[in-house]
Chain A
Amino acid sequence: MAQVTRRKYTFYLLGLAITTCAAIIISSGMGYMQIPVTEIVQVLFASITGNGDLLEGVDKAIPLVVMDVRLPRILTAALVGGGLAMSGVVYQGILLNPLADPYTLGVSSGAAFGASLALLANIVFSTFVSVPLFAFAGAVATLFIVLHLSSFQGQVSANTLILSGVIVGAILAAGISFIQYLADEQVAVIIFWLMGSFASRTWGDVAIITVAVVLGLLITLYYGRDLNIMSLGGRSADSLGVETARTRKILLVTASMVTAICVAVSGIIGFVGLIVPHLMRFLVGPDNRKLLPVSLFAGATLLLMADTVTRAVLPSEVPIGVLTALIGGPFFCVIFRRKQKRGSNA
């Protein structure tokens, strides 16, 4: 179970990649206007090749719906899901804690606080402050505060880490409420964004988050084997030639950057970064070099499916953040119980 053969891994990776692509195409057809898969493929090919002839026999509204309305939202959802899952892998690997993810560490709340601040400034003072930049600053600041709170003599304890994350998250939540109070009549903008939504995403959003996720994947894969060694603990990793302190910082900042962009684009979406790495470890084992790519695709598929359910299946749209928390919260409880039991045996 701990190991997976190369062939099996390739099978899982390809399988998940194909599933993600299929989910993107199928969900593009779902919604108020049902579009057959063949026409979706036609539209996609026409846009990619720039060949208008391919659109023969396709309703004129369809390319508009697919390319301008649905695809930006669908791709954003997929990339955010992948990005959050990837961040979860990194946080869990570095902090040696299966309960760590952007949400439980308070990093998402930090990003949301920074982003809310930027939104408030933009509403009240009509400035054009960059929301992603503020989100990033909030995320990194929160991460270091949480790490500082939970570390004693250079050691970070697993349970106090989550506790610190929850405490800091609670303070930030109060801060966000205060910002909403200040925003007064414009509060709806912040509230709906906070609950997490992929509605009215643009190609600009897709571009920003693509850059963040690809960059994040490259950096984390580069340090993938060091991350594996670091699961032996900092002292052992040091003695095996890993620049532990530096690698830890680079990876934490990278994961926080990806998280911050995800939050800036879509609000707080909890537990994806917790559930996906867990399930994928059952599939491919703990090797982070294998875990990162499969988690990326699995996270993408999961969040895309959740978003499609709220967009096209449910009678009215439920905020995606609410949906993932409803599913992910109980999952967190299960992992927490199992961790407690295992801890008492050791």
Chain B
Amino acid sequence: MHRVDSYQLNNVSYSYGTTSALEDFTLSLSAGKFYGIVGPNGCGKSTFLDLLVGSKEPESGTLLFNGQPLTTYKKRDLARQVALVPQNFNIGFDYSVEEVVLMGRHPYIHRFASPSLKDWQRVQDAMDLIGIAHFAKRSIMELSGGEKQRVVVARALAQDTPILLFDEATSNLDIQYTLQIFDKVRALVEKEGRTIIAVIHNLNFAAAYCDEIIFMKEGRVCKTGTVAEVMNAPAIAEVFGVEAEIRFDSFSQVNQVSYRYGGQLE
């Protein structure tokens, strides 16, 4: 059902006034993979996602989506291809959980039409998958931060796109729900061939769930490759200035990172 979708960025730059956020960004992303973007705070990760979703335009360089400049796509058409789960979510009005998830169907519903049965079915599926269907009728304003965050994930899933962008989407969640979301998202890659591009702060989650890692520093791509290729002590030292060690962890059956506490590199 999902087409092969890819991004190609060539020397893309973006700045806020005089502050440069992305510089000479060159990268290509292909379909069916789970990409993890890691890097220090303020290194341009969110700006990168904004470019991919089309809410910001590159100041220079080219950004191609399926071989065509991203800016030539209509917003609505793009919204059927790419969904974004933002980091902060605050809604000041008294919508129900269900209504917020239904907003994910916006790109499919004609301006004056009502949601179709299919739209409602997608909403229900998304809520079931994330496990929030039991509070579908509650007001979004009464929910805890973690509950709200799961609603936003469900909203993006209801958007039914081949590509999903996550901007630190699990930062508000406890470990149970963090793992739940990562597991479900990983399954979307495996079973449906969807593409995930996720900003992840926790290097262990990145190592455990991602296919490829993009290390970012000061608005540039620092290193990119598979977890085995790039997730190593020198890379972590270079990007974060932290002394770390990567070891195979027999309990989780993946490579995991451990840090030397109290000994940051200068």
- Contact between B159 and A232 (Cβ–Cβ < 8 Å)? no
In the bound complex, what is the Cα–Cα distance between A281 and B98 (angstroms)? 18
- Contact between B99 and A240 (Cβ–Cβ < 8 Å)? no
Query: What per-residue 1/0 map shows which CB atoms of A235-270 lie under 8 Å from chain B?
Result: 110111111100000000000000000000000000
* B104: interface (CB < 8 Å): yes
- Contact between A238 and B75 (Cβ–Cβ < 8 Å)? yes
Interface SS of chain B:
mixed
Q: Which of A9-17, A124-132, A223-231 has 4 or more CB atoms under 8 Å from chain B?
A: A223-231
How far apart are A276's CB and chain B's nearest CB, in angstroms?
16
In the bound complex, what is the Cα–Cα distance between A273 and B168 (angstroms)? 38
Chain B stretch 158-177: residues in CB contact (< 8 A) with chain A: 159, 165
* B111: interface (CB < 8 Å): yes
Q: Which B residues are CB-close (under 8 A) to A285?
A: 94-95
Q: Which A residues are CB-close (under 8 A) to B100?
A: 232
Q: Which A residues are CB-close (under 8 A) to B91?
A: 231-233
- Contact between A98 and B92 (Cβ–Cβ < 8 Å)? yes
Given the contacts A232-B89, A242-B75, A3 and B99 also touching, CB distance less than 8 Å: yes
Q: Which B residues are CB-close (under 8 A) to A225?
A: 106, 109, 111
- Contact between A241 and B76 (Cβ–Cβ < 8 Å)? yes
Which B-chain residue is minimally distant from A286 (CB atoms)? B93
In the bound complex, what is the Cα–Cα distance between A229 and B93 (angstroms)? 11
Which B-chain residue is minimally distant from A281 (CB atoms)? B94
- Contact between A233 and B89 (Cβ–Cβ < 8 Å)? yes
Q: Which A residues are CB-close (under 8 A) to B94?
A: 1-2, 281, 285-286
Query: What per-residue 1/0 map shows which CB atoms of B78-109 lie under 8 Å from chain A?
Result: 11101110101111111110111001101101
Greatest chain A CB density within 10 A among B54, B83, B106, B165 is at: B106
* A305: interface (CB < 8 Å): no
In the bound complex, what is the Cα–Cα distance between A153 and B17 (angstroms)? 9
Which A-chain residue is minimally distant from B55 (CB atoms)? A238
In the bound complex, what is the Cα–Cα distance between A21 and B190 (angstroms)? 62
* A310: interface (CB < 8 Å): no
Contact of B103 among A98, A229, A243 (CB under 8 A): A229
* B26: interface (CB < 8 Å): no
Which A-chain residue is minimally distant from B96 (CB atoms)? A2
How far apart are A219's CB and chain B's nearest CB, in angstroms?
13
* A19: interface (CB < 8 Å): no
Contact size class for A?
Answer: 20 to 34
- Contact between B86 and A2 (Cβ–Cβ < 8 Å)? no
* A144: interface (CB < 8 Å): no
Given the contacts A2-B139, A233-B86, A281-B94, A239 and B103 also touching, CB distance less than 8 Å: no
Q: Which A residues are CB-close (under 8 A) to B55?
A: 234-235, 238-239, 244
Contact of B86 among A3, A222, A235 (CB under 8 A): A235
Given the contacts A232-B103, A346-B90, A241 and B75 also touching, CB distance less than 8 Å: yes
- Contact between B106 and A241 (Cβ–Cβ < 8 Å)? yes
* A177: interface (CB < 8 Å): no
Q: Which A residues are CB-close (under 8 A) to B261?
A: none
Contact of B107 among A1, A153, A240, A243 (CB under 8 A): A240
- Contact between A238 and B53 (Cβ–Cβ < 8 Å)? yes
In the bound complex, what is the Cα–Cα distance between A225 and B80 (angstroms)? 17
- Contact between B79 and A241 (Cβ–Cβ < 8 Å)? yes
* A133: interface (CB < 8 Å): no
In the bound complex, what is the Cα–Cα distance between A136 and B102 (angstroms)? 37
Contact of A286 among B54, B75, B95 (CB under 8 A): B95
Q: Which A residues are CB-close (under 8 A) to B96?
A: 2-3
Q: Which B residues are CB-close (under 8 A) to A241?
A: 74-80, 106-107
Q: Which A residues are CB-close (under 8 A) to B145?
A: 346
How far apart are B196's CB and chain A's nearest CB, in angstroms?
15
* A309: interface (CB < 8 Å): no
* A97: interface (CB < 8 Å): yes
- Contact between A231 and B92 (Cβ–Cβ < 8 Å)? yes
* B50: interface (CB < 8 Å): yes
* B248: interface (CB < 8 Å): no
**A-B pairs with beta carbons under 8 Å apart, 28 shown:** A1-B94, A2-B137, A2-B139, A2-B140, A3-B98, A3-B99, A93-B93, A225-B106, A231-B93, A231-B95, A232-B103, A233-B88, A233-B89, A233-B90, A234-B55, A235-B55, A235-B84, A235-B86, A236-B86, A236-B152, A239-B54, A239-B79, A240-B79, A240-B159, A241-B106, A241-B107, A242-B106, A281-B94
A-B pairs with lowest CB-CB distance, top 10: A241-B79, A238-B55, A286-B93, A239-B84, A241-B76, A2-B96, A241-B107, A239-B53, A240-B106, A241-B75
Q: Supply 20 further A-B pairs (C-beta < 8 A) apart from A236-B86, A281-B94.
A: A2-B140, A3-B98, A3-B99, A158-B92, A229-B106, A231-B92, A231-B95, A233-B86, A235-B84, A239-B53, A239-B83, A239-B84, A240-B79, A240-B104, A241-B74, A241-B75, A242-B106, A285-B95, A286-B95, A287-B99
Binding site for B on A (CB under 8 A): 1-3, 93, 96-98, 153, 158, 222, 225, 228-229, 231-236, 238-244, 281, 285-287, 342, 346
